[in-house]
Amino acid sequence: MKTTISQADWSARAAEVLPGAGFGNFDPSLIVREGKGSRVWDEDGKEYIDYLIGSGPMILGHGHPEVVEAVQEQLGKGMTFFANSAAGIELAEVLVDAMACADQVRYVSTGGEADMYAMRLARAFTGKDRVLKFEGGYHGMSGEALMSLAPKSLINFPQAVPDSAGIPDSVRDGMLIAPFNDSDFVTSLVEEYAHEIACIIVEPLQRLVPPALGFLRTLRDLATKHGIVLIFDEVVTGFRFAYGGAQEYYGVTPDLCTLGKVIGGGFPLAAVAGKAEIMAHFDKSKVGEKGFTFQIGTLSGNPVASVAGLKTLEILRRPGAYQMLKDTGERLMQSYATHLGAAGVAHQIVGEPMLFDVVFTEQPVRDYRGTLKNNAAHANAVNASLRQSGILKPDSKLYAHLALTEEDLQQTDAAIAKAAAQL
């Protein structure tokens, strides 16, 4: 007979062998036992409707039978080869066909790696060193990415603030930081430093904050004018906002984009995709030793992840998938608006239907500093109430997905109503 180990016991064991008792991701007190469809269960058997969905990859829900079947078939053929596979080549063809900016693809295992290599590739292509990013923008865990992600000190732009120990000052000095959605500021900054800037890297939807009308177009025009590589970090938005990603959804095409999460169907897989003349710097035979951008990875293009991604993207191409995702998100947004409005709680619903959350403030939210106006006590109370009601979500996001049922949405609505009333 199998012995049941409680969450508390697992947490105690984790504290002995894991810094902070966790993996560095979500609340370490939650030990997930399994997931199926729209739901997950913890080690104590508590059931949740899952809006965390692995931080985004499980857009079809957990254990989609067609994805599981494809993975099981591949497992019988081999798990990884450190060599090309037909599945990886086919997936690259699908990615190139989907993304407007993509002529070619290079695989890595994580979105953070993809962002790191995209910035390095831009430097190789332009011969310039500086990176322009936006305060509050998340681009993985590299030294460049951990500049002004969530700065505690709101110093003057364009100076960067490191968000982690262990990053040399020289990395900070290679960065320029601008406020998101401020076209005038970024134009002035680029005009001043254009001769030094290799790339502009941006989340088309920054965390939750949508781009202001014309902002992404301004970045496109500035990059084109000054020979700067425009990088869209589409690790989150790729194949979520539209089949062609945020570049399709917002109608602006970058030079490079980074992809992750959805493209691996729940397995570790990410990619840099972009124009052939830039991607050529991954090919020494085309650019020579001096221009070559060195990149290898043991699991890059892993065949199990590739077949999971291929099947996931095939399902997303089916008629009605994105309309269903949008409709579901809009219904969840309306639940928040209705119940928080009825309770008289000041709030802004920030984001797009496919990815959004509530910021508890009366002021519009246009950038990172706008999110700091959030009433943290209200946000924490709502999230805690939702968790108690069996709704699992990140602290500051909610991912709509295709596994959600009518029962799930009704239960979620009731949970939101309860949380709003408690405020």
Residue type at 388? Q
Does residue 337 register a pLDDT over 90? Answer: yes
Kind and range of the H or E run holding 407:
helix 406-422
Domains defined along the chain, listed by start: 31-63+320-422 (3.90.1150.10), 66-316 (3.40.640.10)
Measured between alpha carbons, how far is 8 from 31 in angstroms, rounded to an integer?
A: 9
Report, as residue numbers or ranges, the catalytic residues.
138, 233, 261
Hunting for tokens 């500051």 — which residue is that?
Answer: 396
pLDDT at residue 2 in the model:
65
Q: Which of 312, 315, 230, 203 is nearest to 267 (CA)?
A: 312
Kind and range of the H or E run holding 398:
strand 398-399
Measured between alpha carbons, how far is 254 from 219 in angstroms, rounded to an integer?
A: 9
Measured between alpha carbons, how far is 145 from 125 in angstroms, rounded to an integer?
A: 19
Does residue 375 register a pLDDT over 80? Answer: yes
Q: Which of 378, 401, 416, 377 is nearest to 52 (CA)?
A: 401
The model carries a pTM of: 0.96
pLDDT tens by residue, 376-393: 999 999 999 999 999 999
Are 101 and 257 in contact by the 8 Å Cβ rule? The answer is: yes
Question: C-alpha dihedral over 336, 235, 57, 111, to 10 degrees?
Answer: -130
Which of the four pLDDT bands, split at 50, 70 and 90, describes residue 57?
Answer: very high
First-residue to last-residue Cα distance in the chain:
45
Mean pLDDT within 394-408? 96
Measured between alpha carbons, how far is 413 from 423 in angstroms, rounded to an integer?
A: 16
Mean pLDDT within 257-282? 98
**Measured CA angle at 22 (ends 396, 202), to 5 deg:** 40
pLDDT tens by residue, 173-231: 999 999 999 999 999 999 999 999 999 999 999 999 999 999 999 999 999 999 999 99
Query: What does the block give as tokens for 251?
Result: 């109608």
Query: What does the block give as tokens for 131?
Result: 């990176």
SS3 of 199, please? strand
Measured between alpha carbons, how far is 55 from 140 in angstroms, rounded to an integer?
A: 13
Q: What is the mean pLDDT of the chain?
A: 96
pLDDT at residue 153 in the model:
85
pLDDT at residue 246 in the model:
98
Measured between alpha carbons, how far is 332 from 220 in angstroms, rounded to an integer?
A: 33
pLDDT at residue 1 in the model:
54
Mean pLDDT within 127-136? 97
Pairing label, strands 130-134, 175-178 = parallel
Are 335 and 413 in contact by the 8 Å Cβ rule? The answer is: yes
Q: Give the list of residues 6+ apart from residue 18 with CB closer than 8 angstroms, or none.
A: 28
Q: How many CB atoms lie within 10 A of CB 173?
A: 11
Are 172 and 90 in contact by the 8 Å Cβ rule? The answer is: no
